Amino acid sequence: MRTRIVAVLATVGLCGLLFTTGCSYRENICADGEYPVIAVGPEGGRACLPDGQEPTAPYVRFPADKVPQHVDDEWDVYWRTHGIDENGAVIET
């Protein structure tokens, strides 16, 4: 009987935890210690590089004021329809 009570309390506690934090979870674009880069050209493409490592072709840094941080944030959505050309200009794709 005691095991059953502990199991029920554990389940209730876990459900409460998921309820209070489940909707606030936001998936990062890159892991800790990394930053996102975008490939030059209309096809785009993205990658994550270690902090301190400069991007090499075909990748460049995102414009400083338009860096996506989380999946589906404003800039993640924006870069789905935009890219960067060989001159560094933002283009629609």
Q: Is residue 54 one of the residues assigned to a domain?
A: yes
CB 56 within 8 A of CB 65: no
pLDDT at 91 over 60: yes
| Domain total in the chain | 1
CB atoms within 10 A of CB 91: 13
Domain hosting 73: range is 34-92
Mean pLDDT of 53-62: 98
Q: Tell me the backbone φ, ψ of residue 54, rounded to 5 degrees.
A: -80, 145
**Predicted pLDDT at 23:** 62
Give pLDDT tens digits for 60-78.
Answer: 999 999 999 999 999 999 9
Beta-carbon contacts of 36 under 8 Å, excluding residues fewer than 6 positions away, are: 29, 30, 46, 47, 48, 62, 67, 68
**Predicted pLDDT at 44:** 85
Mean pLDDT of 14-39: 79
Q: Is residue 66 one of the residues assigned to a domain?
A: yes
**Predicted pLDDT at 24:** 74
Q: Is residue 81 one of the residues assigned to a domain?
A: yes
**Predicted pLDDT at 3:** 59
CA distances from 64 to 35, 67, 89 (A): 12, 6, 13
